[in-house]
Amino acid sequence: MSANGVAPVVIVGAGLAAWTTARELRKLDPSVSIALVTRDNGDFYAKPTLSNAFGQKRSPDQLVTTPAAAMAANLHITLHAHTTVQSIDTASRTVRVHQGDSTRTMAYSRLVLATGANPIRVPMAGNATHAVHTVNHLDDFRGLHADLSALPQRADGSPATVLLIGAGLIGCEFANDLAQGGFAVQVVDPAARPLPALLPAAASEQLRNALQTLGVAWHLGCTVGTLDASPGGAHRYAATLSDATVIAADAVLSAVGLRADTALAAAAGLACERGVLVDAHLQTSVPDVYALGDCAQYSAAGGRTLPYVMPIMNAARALAATLAGTPTALVFPLMPVAVKTPVLPITVAAPDPALQGQWTQDPATIDLHEGGAWRFVDAAGVQRGFVLTGKQTAKRMEWSKATLA
């Protein structure tokens, strides 16, 4: 309880969604009691930097922009680091938390779930599946960074090989980053092209070719069937693909997507589908319990999850206003996403997946070797999305104005 006997606003999580909500709420209400509970140490960092750190020669510690203690002091909040929320009792408005050797209950006036998402792991056979890395948090990146940093120099001077599973947004960003960081990268994906869910085919081909110039090798239309250790061999692992190709690798990174972490919410009886269901005010199916970020499924986005920075920032500002006493419906503007592939910069304003329409390339960019520009047009001829690559990304503002969200 706070000094005035009122239970605090309790925020579960310490990612961008959690810290931004705390910061925006503190701006609006200097006196409200806020407690932030997180399983890790709570240090603040920009999650997108996880997939461009190798190319920039940045260590895990260098990615931290503000230590958790400083964040908590600046925002005048109570930080409960290395603390796990085990359960929520919505009737008594308490959460059961575990830290070290002790378990206790904590009361809340309003509860904010910013529990994020978990990496999807694809099933595979073999005796080395435990060695597959996933990177969704700074601690995950620490593990990958330590593993790659410990690889010995090869006698012939050739680079270490990283097998990268996944050719989606994060997979392509890591492919670019690891290649720039001096690794040989082998990408495996069952899709026929990179970023198939976001890009028209011609833009995918541009990206594929651009990454190939960095030495990225593609194994598309394939999956990893088995991953085995190769003791005494030139590389640590041998991956056998579905087409019988064998890839020798020194490390394996899986980047096949995320699944909203709904375990805590579901166990408490909150309505969940692909994420924790929230209304226009980010309230869950239970009064005074809210959710946002990678764990949330937004009614304001037609029932979609939106694991990107700009949706999180917009949601946090709206939720903070609501928590401060001014109910504010979340309205998402057009939010183009910048894909961090420096070899071919890409800006995507993806249309709603349920929208019927087609991609058309801007005729002025068809013959250029400096990127391209595509617009997604619905059945009525209205521009509902766009993709810009290379130097065409300079048109982001112009094309955003021409696109109806």
3-class SS shares of the chain: helix, strand, coil, % to 5: 25, 30, 45
Contact 185, 177 (CB under 8 A): no
What pLDDT does 241 receive? 97
What pLDDT does 347 receive? 97
Confidence of residue 367 (pLDDT cuts 50, 70, 90): low
Tokens of 278: 């929230």
Nearby residues of 349 by Cβ (< 8 Å), 6 or more positions away: 334, 335, 336, 337, 385, 386, 387, 399, 400, 403
Nearby residues of 28 by Cβ (< 8 Å), 6 or more positions away: 320, 321, 324, 326
What pLDDT does 150 receive? 92
- Give me the residues paired with residue 359 across strands: 376
Contact 193, 205 (CB under 8 A): yes
CA 219 to chain centroid = 24
Confidence of residue 338 (pLDDT cuts 50, 70, 90): very high
CA 311 to chain centroid = 12
Q: Are strands 251-254 and 258-260 parallel, antiparallel or unpaired?
A: unpaired
Q: Answer whether residue 364 shows pLDDT above 70.
A: yes
Q: Answer whether residue 78 shows pLDDT above 70.
A: yes
What pLDDT does 370 receive? 74
Contact 385, 347 (CB under 8 A): no
Query: How far is the CA of 112 from the CAs of 24, 66, 120, 323, 384, in angstroms?
Result: 13, 22, 24, 10, 32
Q: What is the pLDDT of residues 89-102, one digit of tens each?
A: 999 999 999 999 99
Q: How many of the other CB atoms lie within 10 Å of CB of 340?
A: 19
Mean per-residue pLDDT, 153-173: 92
Q: How many residues does the chain have?
A: 405
Query: How far is the CA of 393 from the CAs of 56, 147, 340, 377, in angstroms?
Result: 22, 35, 12, 19
Average pLDDT for the chain: 94
Q: What is the pLDDT of residues 164-209, one digit of tens each?
A: 999 999 999 999 999 999 999 999 999 999 999 999 999 999 999 9
Helices (H) and strands (E) in the chain, counts: 9, 27
Least confident piece of the model among 189-198, 312-321, 352-361: 352-361
What pLDDT does 95 receive? 98
Mean per-residue pLDDT, 359-368: 81
Task: Give the integer Cα–Cα distance in Å for 165 and 255.
Answer: 6
What pLDDT does 222 receive? 96
Least confident piece of the model among 105-109, 293-297, 362-366: 362-366
Higher pLDDT, 95 or 364: 95
Task: Give the integer Cα–Cα distance in Å for 252 and 131.
Answer: 7
Q: Answer whether residue 154 shows pLDDT above 90.
A: no
Percent of the chain surpassing pLDDT 90: 89
Q: Which domains does the chain have, with CATH numbers?
A: 9-118+258-323 (3.50.50.60), 121-254 (3.50.50.60), 345-401 (3.30.390.120)
Phi, psi of 307 (to 5 degrees): -85, 60
Q: Answer whether residue 2 shows pLDDT above 70.
A: no
Mean per-residue pLDDT, 152-165: 90
**Helix (H) or strand (E) run with residue 303 in it:** none
Nearest to 337, CA basis, from 312, 367, 302: 312
Contact 13, 115 (CB under 8 A): yes
Confidence of residue 404 (pLDDT cuts 50, 70, 90): confident
Does the pTM surpass 0.75? The reply is yes
Q: What is the pLDDT of residues 207-262, one digit of tens each?
A: 999 999 999 999 999 999 999 998 777 789 999 999 999 999 999 999 999 999 99
Mean per-residue pLDDT, 311-317: 97
Confidence of residue 324 (pLDDT cuts 50, 70, 90): very high
Q: Give the 3-state secondary structure of 231-297.
A: CCCCCCEEEEECCCCEEEECEEEECCCEEECCHHHHHCCCCECCCEEECCCCECCCCCEEECHHHEE
Mean per-residue pLDDT, 56-79: 97
Amino acid at 113: L
Mean per-residue pLDDT, 138-159: 91
Tokens of 380: 């009525």
Q: Answer whether residue 352 shows pLDDT above 90.
A: no
Nearest to 348, CA basis, from 131, 172, 159: 172
